[in-house]
Structure 1
């Protein structure tokens, strides 16, 4: 596996692959890799001839008081894991490389609508930072396909709209959430949890799963969501949000039937966890 840190050699390396007619897949990450990230690499390997992973802790997507400074930087371990999974190139730039003019006054990309509410409501500006760095990586790497995890479902929706609106010739591939044995979605932030918090954290997925099962059987939406919110409170999880949305993340139309997405976010101490699960409403939903 090649590792590059600067833009010029990145472009040179990629130009050689394109001259050879290679199909290129991109897996953007912030590092501190776990099995969920590696599943993205495995899927990229299936979809393309060349897999490029990026490792960049993006300051634009961290708000005041969030964990940018303490977010784990584990380049050596990440490189080893990526190489084992068949990654061809790791691009690991510094902040100064990607943002050479600094952050003040930097041109940014905003994706309205889908970036609002849910995590966008709790973390103002977060998705502007995501959209900006992803647009920059798309421009530099020009992949044919890019793989993102469904755990960050709103992020995936933001990127799909970004690609559609800006006419990026890129296939966006959503990859199913990787989970621990107790259902907890794998996340770099799980490492912040104490042993006792880690035990309680599994209640998020369990509650979403139980709520989705009830909704799939035709239970009233409002009643099901209220019960789920109470279950999270009973598990001593501080609720950020729990919502049922259209798969596009538009608000669900009253009486809707068919696919929907149940999304939740909670706090355990200072650690914020998110998750989501697919739902199929069998008949008229109750507003």
Structure 2
């Protein structure tokens, strides 16, 4: 496995590769990331994993400075899992000058996560577009756990005619249903015991819909009230169309239930896709 930190060296290394798959990450890797690596290895001869904590997607009051950075362990895991190249650029490498050029995003980027974290998707798409330009992969792998991010990136690729196939990896969960996330490291033992309540409530909505319930607003508010009573502070719980992420109607069959909530000072997100027959 090669560790590369500058753009020129990475481009030189990749210039003769027939097929490249990219897995963009912010590090602090877990089993969910490694599942994306395995998908990448099935779709290309050379697998590149990038590790970069992207300042642009953090608001000033968010956790950029304390976001877990575990580079040594990350590289060990990636080498054990057969990754060909790890790209670890410094901030000056990706942003040699202030980043004045950014994308004008569609309205979906201002809903849900975008409404709670203004500018988040602008920061994400800016860095992802940079990585696509630097690595020039044929395939890029993103996790369904960040469902809205996945859909925004898919739209960016389609509308900018980028020659990259976006492949989604399923959310990997702990035994109690908690979606694996780097921010789970913030949870203490008591919080960890409660953390799966978000997933259970989203799943409960899905079960009700699968049983025939179509009053989505009632299901959403019931889940919000349950979580609030359990000590959470809910940002949103919403039943949406999978592709366009518009509010779901009774006629829709491809749905996703998305949620974000605070457990003390720790913010968790999750989702459950649901396809009705």
Pairwise TM-score range, normalised by the shorter structure: over 0.9
Which residue of structure 2 aligns with residue 123 of structure 1? 117
Contact 1:246 1:261 in 2 (8 A): yes
Partner of 2:37: 41
- In structure 1, stretches of 5+ residues that fail to align are 283-287
Task: Determine if the alignment matches structure 1 residue 233 to structure 2 residue 228.
Answer: yes
1:191-210 superposed matches below 5 A: 191-210=185-204
Contact 1:109–1:131 under 8 Å retained in 2: yes
Show the counterpart of 1:16.
Answer: 16
Quick check: 1:262 aligned with 2:257? yes
Report the RMSD for the aligned CA atoms in angstroms: 1.2
The count of aligned residue pairs is 276
Q: Contact (CA 8 Å) 1:96, 1:102: kept in 2 or not?
A: no
Counterpart of 2:238 (choices 243, 252, 256) is: 243
TM superposition shift of 1:281? 4.7
Question: Retained in 1: the 8 A contact 2:171–2:179?
Answer: yes
| Aligned equivalent of 2:206 | 212
SS in 2 for 1:115: helix
Counterpart residue number, 2:148? 154
CA distance in 2, matches of 1:235, 1:151: 23
Q: For residue 32 of structure 1, report the CA deviation from its aligned partner.
A: 0.4
2:159 counterpart of 1:180: no
Q: Deviations over 1:12-69 (max 9, x none)?
A: 001032xxxx211000000000110111001101111110000000100000110101
More deviation, 163-172/223-232:
223-232
Q: Distance in 2 between matches of 1:32 and 1:199?
A: 21
- 1:139-188, CA deviations, whole angstroms, 9 ceiling, x for partnerless residues? 01110000000000000001000000110011100110011110000000
Which residue does the alignment assign to 2:27?
A: 31
Corresponding residue SS for 2:145: coil
Matched, 1:80 2:76: yes
8 Å CA contact retained: 2:52, 2:88: yes
Measured in 1, the distance between the counterparts of 2:63 and 2:186 equals: 10
* Alignment pair present for 1:62 and 2:67: no
Secondary structure, aligned partner of 2:107: coil
Within 5 A, what are the aligned runs for 1:126-137? 126-137=120-131
- In the TM superposition, residue 110 of structure 1 has moved relative to its aligned partner by 3.3
Contact kept, 8 Å, 1:3 with 1:89, in 2: the verdict is yes
Using the alignment, how far apart are the partners of 1:277 and 1:27 within structure 2? Answer: 22
Q: Does structure 2 retain, via aligned residues, the 8 Å contact 1:256–1:281?
A: no
> Displacement, 1:248?
1.9
Normalising by structure 2, report the TM-score.
0.97
Per-residue deviation, 1:195: 1.0
- In the superposition, the TM-score normalised over structure 1's length comes to 0.93
Offset of residue 81 of structure 1: 0.4
Cα deviation for residue 250 of structure 1 reads 3.2
Q: CA deviation at 1:253?
A: 5.0
Runs of 4+ in 1 over 6 A off after TM superposition: none
Q: Does 1:166 align with 2:160?
A: yes
